[in-house]
Chains A and B, each alone.
Chain A
Amino acid sequence: MHYAYGTEEWEKVYLEMVAKRLATASKPYIQGSPEWVATYEKMIQESQEYKEAAKGWEGTVVIHIMANPELGLEGDIYQLLDLWHGECRSVRLVPREVGEKADYILSGELERWEAVVAGDLDTTKAMMQGKIKLKGDLATIVRYVKASALLTEIAARIETKFLSQLSEGEREQYRKEASELRAEVGF
């Protein structure tokens, strides 16, 4: 039985789970895994350039990666970025019901997000072409286009292993762990 997102218990369980995985998982981390997300959080928090570019930004952003069972992703992933005036307060994997309430939601197929993180797909172009969908107030987000681009650039700097690169054995292991996480923390 998992705890409700937003409660102290949930946060405690989440952080313990991340710490445990960071201690044991081998690099490069799999895109969207708790250890990858924790690395992403740390890198955003350490970026002076991001702090400067996102000075006035208020609002939560969700990166929504759509399920792709064939590649091992049985359910959708929602990465919630809690961003406030240049600070990255946290990046968490959250349940769907939480992710869908974010101020801005960027949705796309797994292969699109793999291309973004690999540095092969520009998010602005991807939105224009319908490869990534954006829900939210465009007028606000365009004021912070540099900050948005930096978030993408930071993700591209993470040494990443993509789901499409996993062997069948690794994929099976990923499925098993993802199922356990769903039971433990609800995503």
Chain B
Amino acid sequence: MRYGRDLSFIYNNPTRIIFGEKVVREVGMEVDSLGGSRALVVTDQGVVAAGLAETVQKALGRRYAGTFAGGIQDSGLHIVNEGAAYAREVGADVLVSVGGGSTIDTAKGMAVLLKEGGRLQDYAGYQLLSRPQTPHIAIPTTAGTGSEVTYAAIIKDWENSAKILFCDSQIIPNVAILDPLLTRGLPPQLTATTGMDALTHAVEAIHSTEREPLADAMALHAIRLIMAYLPRCVERGEDLQARGQQQLAATMAGIAFNNTQVALVHAMAHSVGALFHVPHGLANSILLPHVIAYNLEDCADRYALIAQAMGVAAPGESDEEAGSAVAEAVWALTQKMGVPQRLRETGVPWEGLEAAAHRSLSDGSIIYNPKPIATAEEILSVYYNAW
């Protein structure tokens, strides 16, 4: 291992994070701090119906320029274009996204179009932007994606049925406002699966080939918080302390993987999501223990760290045994929360696994898996186990 090539890293965490009950009220002052005067709320119809967009609107006061509620689960280029056109029409100079990962990603895309113009697909790739984009405040209403602190956005090209990945430090939101009041209305199943998304981010950040100590610290504490508070959030949605700690865990896991990337679990989850519409958090949740088992021989020492954070490490056990304990602990957690544990329970057909395996080979996350993967057959074996 050499410092120049293997041990060196850049830790990037530019987002200002504001946490606490009722801190959504701070949004207006944050707009001022960013030098803006007209803020557009970017959200979806569900968030509007829940009254959360209105809460943000009130907090923005005179700075409120309008609401674009076109967000959907798999955001598309046409939606980003439509949102950017509306933002121009109302003269918005700050974007305030209120919603889940897809809504925050929509706002990331809009921020680019407002600043750079042209077509969003021209910016697909790695780190192509060279200047700060339109200021963006992210207010997540789920606790899992971590999109409020990450440099990635996935936008679907609906015409060509392709997902376009944008990875750029310039699209990391400037501010993240984490208010537990905004997540307390999440139903138990959604709380559990989005929470498992956060756990997957943390585990993948730790086993990624790009792992580094600062991200480890974030990810390991995220794991501790998730193990302690996610079941409480599922059992008692009104428990604001648990909701808040889970929010912090999701953001910390987001910071971790933003610096180290995710790996095979995500590559496989993206594939069954695209082909069979399995919700992302649920797919991650099912696949996570199987990928841990698959990777075990290559990075058992990493799983031993995770076992400690999860509280399942036993004195004197080997790293491999600790890794197996991690997989078991993930199953125990999902069982406790009533989350499906098999792909067959989510509508994925056995005969569709091969296509999913081939698709996973084209997913950017796969290159960061600790156990190198060269063929679809290797992935297929994991899918078979998870089915």
B125 CB-CB contact with A under 8 Å: yes
B368 to chain A, nearest CB (A): 8
* Contact-size category for A: 20 to 34
Interface residues of B in 67-94 (CB under 8 A from A): none
B128 CB-CB contact with A under 8 Å: yes
Binding site for A on B (CB under 8 A): 2, 4-6, 9-10, 12, 124-128, 162, 165, 167-169, 210, 261, 361-364, 366-367, 374
> Using Cβ atoms and an 8 Å threshold, which residues of chain B touch A158?
none
Binding site for B on A (CB under 8 A): 115, 119-122, 124-125, 127-130, 132-140, 142-143, 145-146
9 nearest A-B pairs in the assembled complex, by CB-CB distance: A130-B127, A120-B4, A134-B126, A139-B362, A127-B126, A135-B125, A129-B10, A145-B367, A133-B127
Residue contacts A-B, CB under 8 angstroms, 23 given: A122-B5, A125-B9, A125-B210, A128-B126, A128-B210, A129-B12, A130-B126, A134-B128, A135-B125, A135-B128, A136-B125, A138-B126, A138-B165, A138-B167, A138-B364, A139-B162, A139-B165, A139-B362, A140-B362, A142-B361, A142-B362, A145-B367, A146-B374
A122 to chain B, nearest CB (A): 5
> Using Cβ atoms and an 8 Å threshold, which residues of chain A touch B125?
133-136, 138
A119 to B363, CA, bound (A): 26
> Using Cβ atoms and an 8 Å threshold, which residues of chain B touch A135?
124-125, 128
B94 to chain A, nearest CB (A): 24
Contact A143 B362 (CB under 8 A): yes
> What 9 additional pairs, Cβ within 8 angstroms, besides A122-B6, A128-B167?
A120-B4, A124-B367, A125-B5, A127-B126, A132-B127, A135-B124, A135-B128, A139-B165, A139-B364
Contact B5 A120 (CB under 8 A): yes
- B124 is contacted by which of A128, A138, A142, A145 (Cβ under 8 Å)? A138
